Each structure stands twice: as C-alpha cells, then as structure tokens.
C-alpha cells in the first residue's frame, strides 16, 4: 500500500498534530467510541510517524470561544448537568441531550477539550506554523448551536471554520463522513463566505435525514451548500470519481483560501453502520486531491465505529499527508490484539453490492455542475424579466416531477421566493415562457 503516488509535494509539507496525554484520556471517555482516541494515537505512534510532525499541545476552549457558535443557554446547561452526570434533568430534552447524546460526568470538559483542540489546530495554520493541521479526535459535525445531536456535543468543525475565517476570506468545508454534515451546513447556510460540501448516505430513515442534492443553501448562502447523496455499497473508485468531479467544480467556482476536511471513517468496509464499502486507499486519494491545491488545510476525524478500522484509516491518512509508506504488518503496541485475525493495515472491501446506479450518479454530478450555470442564467433572466408577467416552467434539478407556477416578477427578492415553487423542494426553473 503506497501513499507516495501523486504526492511529490508531501516532503515539503509541514504538519501539526494536536496531542497531549490528557486530551486523549478525555476523548477516550466518549461512550460511543471508548478508547478510540488512544487506539488511533497509539497506532500512529507505533508506525513511527510522530517525529515527522510537530506535536502541539491543545488548549481547552473557554466558554467564550465555544459561544462563538453555541448559545449561552446550551453551554450553561451542559456545564450544569456535567458536574454530576445528571441524565434525568427535564430540560435536557430541549437541548438534544439523552438518547443519542447521553450525559456523563465531565461531558462539558470533553466538549471544551475537543473544541479547544480544533481551535489550536486552526491557530497553527493561521500562524503559518504548518500547512496541514490534524485533530483526529475532532470532527463532530452534527451539533447545532443550541442542541447536541448524533453523538456530537460541540461542533468543533464550525469553531475551526470560524477561526480560519479570522484571516481567510473564503473557507471550504469538505465532509466525507458517512452521515450528512448537517450541523456545519446549517451554521453557514446563509453565508457565501463558507462553502460546505458533504458526500453521504441519503436514504429514508437514515440519520440525520437531510442533505438532498437540491439543498443548496439559503439567502446569500444559496448555492454555497453542496450535497452529494449516495446509496449503500459505494467503493473507492466510484467514490473518487464522484469526489473529483464535484471538487474540481467547487474549487473553480468558489476559489477557497483555506480548507477544513472532516474525514469520518464510518464509510469503511467493516463498519457497524454497514453502508459504504470504502477502504483507506480511496479516502486517501480524495484527501490528496484536496492537498494538491496547497491551501492551509485542517483535518478532523468524525464517525468510525469499527475502532480498529478507524485507527487503520486515520493512520494511513496521516502517512499519506506525510508522504510515508507504511508496512502492511501492524507493529507491536498496546492495542496490537485489536487488529486480529490478520494484523494487517489494509482493509478489504466486502462483497456487498454497490447500490449506486450510474445514471443516478451522473445526474447528481451534472446537477451540482449545472447549479451555478443555472444560477448565472437565472440572474440574467431576473434582469430581463423585472416587472414582466411570465409563466415559469419549473423543472427540478433533483429529478422530481416538473411543476408549473406563475409569477409577476417585480424584484430579485420576489424571484427568490418563486424558486421555492409549488413542488416545495426548492426546485430551480430551467426555462421561461412568456404568458
């Protein structure tokens, strides 16, 4: 397994790796992924990768720093219940705490540690101490400003992006976790300064249920959210093909100054989510595609519920960033026995079928590529049509049944309303006819 291909720039890349024993110990307490932080770090260390990076001790986020995104009332509540691990506070339901996000003693300290670590990584990039900064214990993309969600108590990805925005005009968020990066998309849905791109499983009943291709952002942020819904069973080659097609378009349209990438490993073959069928090699190719832009890049973890496979994946990605080739044999270390029966770094795809229909994937890609063109066409039409009554022929880019609506277009603002037309899925008008 070689991470060296297409990676000539890697030798020049300075990499910061956020780590302290206390930080890892705190992250190990997360009940959904117990000891995962230790397993990931130990494998990276066992492969001898630490001397090739600058190891940076993470700060703990202050209340004020977390309040850059989260509401005071949410943070105060989290702080209150964290002191004795009270899982029965009646108010907790309002803040999404309970079932998916259980309350345990010290949960506030965990949130502050994760948030602080991603802020530390972002600060290393802003101070130009590195070109790539890594926090594998971060990437909790579901948390909302006033709500915990999907194992996420603090949205460190949002905090990291806000930090990068202190010096960078346009920040790109790329999310390759199995789940839609809904918390990050929602946080920036109204701005054109942060573009969010999420590739994820989109299927009825699958968490969080958002992220259809026609969800493109709101108000000023319209067209600055990109969603790539995928079906079960996708493998490395096809995923990479979709990823590069979309990212080429995203880069040329948005021209980002910095990137934050969430690399959740619940897409791996063998994950209990049992959905995608990826290996670290496929994800590494996607990562290299972004790294070759040579922009300040912050890398975060995320999901990953087969703990050994998650450690394999993020270790391989760390080596990819550093341009190192790793031996297939897992080195002897504290968690060695977790890697049986083969004790190998590779993850083999399972034989489950790929449910992604080629025509569907082509339509998703052409939709994403077409959206901006339609947008330009659309603005032109607004100029031409102001004050003129027209019949609008709507065709949804998401491929649903076209529908008709009428509108006297008196302003660009009204025009925006009309776009969310009768089929109520934010469809986009493709053709116009005079009445």
Q: Which residues are documented as binding site for a divalent metal cation?
A: 177, 179, 266
Nearest partner of 364 among 263, 216, 260, judged by Cα: 216
304: contact with Zn ion by CB under 5 A: no
Q: Of the listed 142, 168, 180, 200, which one is catalytic?
A: 142
In terms of CB distance, is 131 or 177 closer to Zn ion?
177
Tell me how long the chain is. Answer: 435
Cα–Cα distance for residue pair 23/18, rounded to 1 Å: 9
Burial string for 49-60 (b: 16+ CB within 10 Å, else e) reads beebbeebebbb
Taking CB under 5 A as the rule, which mask of x and - marks residues 266-295 in contact with Zn ion? x-----------------------------
Give residues 152-181 in contact with Zn ion (rule: CB under 5 A): 177-179
Looking at beta carbons, which residue is closest to Zn ion? Answer: 303
In angstroms, the CA 63 to CA 71 distance is: 10
Residue 180 CB, nearest distance to Zn ion (Å)? 9
- Shortest spacing between CB 272 and Zn ion, in angstroms: 11
- Is 333 annotated as catalytic? no
If we measure between CA atoms, which residue out of 204, 344, 218 comes closest to residue 280?
A: 344
- Is there binding between residue 264 and Zn ion (CB under 5 A)? yes
- To the nearest whole angstrom, how small is the minimum distance from the Cβ of residue 424 to Zn ion? 28
Per the annotation, where are the binding residues for substrate?
100, 150, 305
Say if residues 259 and 291 touch (Cβ distance below 8 Å). Answer: no
Helix, strand, or coil (residue 76):
helix
- Residue 200 in contact with Zn ion, rule: CB under 5 A: no
Contact at 8 Å (CB) between 142 and 150? yes
Name which of 3 and 178 has its Cβ closer to Zn ion.
Answer: 178
CB of 178 to Zn ion, least distance (A): 5
Nearest distance in Å: CB 285, Zn ion: 20
Residues annotated within the binding site are: 100, 150, 177, 179, 266, 305
Q: Which two tokens stand for residue 219?
A: 């108000």
**H or E segment and range at residue 283:** helix 280-291
Compare residues 208 and 331 and give the one whose CB is closer to Zn ion: 208
Supply the DSSP symbol for 434.
E
Q: What is the CA radius of gyration of the chain?
A: 22
Considering beta carbons, is residue 194 or 273 the nearer one to Zn ion? Answer: 273
Catalytic residues: 142
Which residues of this protein are in contact with Zn ion, per CB under 5 A? 177-179, 264, 266, 303
């Amino acid at each position: 397994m070689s991470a060296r291909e297409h990676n000539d720039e890697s030798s020049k890349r300075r990499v910061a790796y956020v780590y302290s024993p206390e930080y890892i110990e705190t992250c190990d307490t997360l009940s959904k992924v117990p000891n995962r932080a230790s397993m990931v770090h130990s494998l990276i260390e066992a492969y001898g990768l630490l001397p090739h990076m600058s190891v940076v001790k993470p700060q703990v986020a202050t209340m004020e720093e977390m309040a850059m995104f989260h509401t005071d009332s949410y943070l105060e509540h989290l702080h209150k219940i964290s002191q004795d691990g009270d899982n029965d506070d009646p108010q907790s339901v309002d803040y999404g705490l309970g079932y998916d996000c259980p309350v345990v003693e010290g949960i506030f300290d965990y949130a502050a540690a994760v948030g602080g670590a991603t802020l530390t990584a972002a600060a290393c990039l802003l101070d130009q101490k590195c070109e790539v900064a890594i926090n594998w214990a971060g990437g909790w993309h579901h948390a909302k400003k006033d709500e915990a969600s999907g194992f996420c108590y603090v949205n460190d990805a949002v905090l990291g992006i806000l930090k990068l925005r202190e010096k960078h005009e346009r920040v790109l968020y790329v999310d390759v976790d199995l789940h839609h990066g809904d918390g990050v998309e929602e946080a920036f849905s109204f701005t054109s300064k942060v573009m969010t791109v999420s590739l994820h499983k989109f299927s009825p009943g699958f968490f969080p249920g958002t992220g259809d291709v026609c969800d493109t952002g709101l108000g000023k942020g319209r067209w600055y959210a990109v969603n790539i819904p995928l079906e079960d069973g996708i493998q490395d080659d096809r995923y990479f093909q979709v990823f590069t097609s979309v990212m080429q378009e995203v880069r040329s349209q948005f021209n980002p100054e910095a990137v934050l990438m969430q690399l959740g490993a619940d897409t791996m073959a063998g994950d209990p989510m049992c959905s995608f069928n990826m290996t670290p090699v496929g994800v590494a190719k996607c990562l290299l595609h972004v790294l070759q832009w040579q922009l300040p890049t912050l890398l975060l973890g995320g999901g990953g519920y087969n703990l050994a496979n998650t450690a394999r994946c993020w270790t391989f990605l760390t080596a990819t960033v550093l341009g190192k080739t790793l031996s297939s044999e897992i080195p002897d270390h504290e968690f060695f026995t977790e890697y049986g029966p083969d004790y190998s770094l590779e993850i083999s795809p399972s034989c489950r079928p790929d449910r992604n229909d080629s025509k569907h994937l082509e339509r998703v890609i052409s939709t994403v590529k077409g959206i901006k063109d339609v947008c330009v066409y659309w603005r032109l039409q607004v100029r031409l049509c102001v004050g003129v009554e027209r019949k609008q022929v709507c065709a949804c880019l998401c491929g649903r049944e076209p529908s008709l609506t009428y509108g006297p277009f008196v302003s660009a603002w009204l025009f925006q309303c009309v776009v969310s037309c009768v089929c109520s899925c934010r469809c986009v008008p493709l053709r116009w006819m005079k009445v």
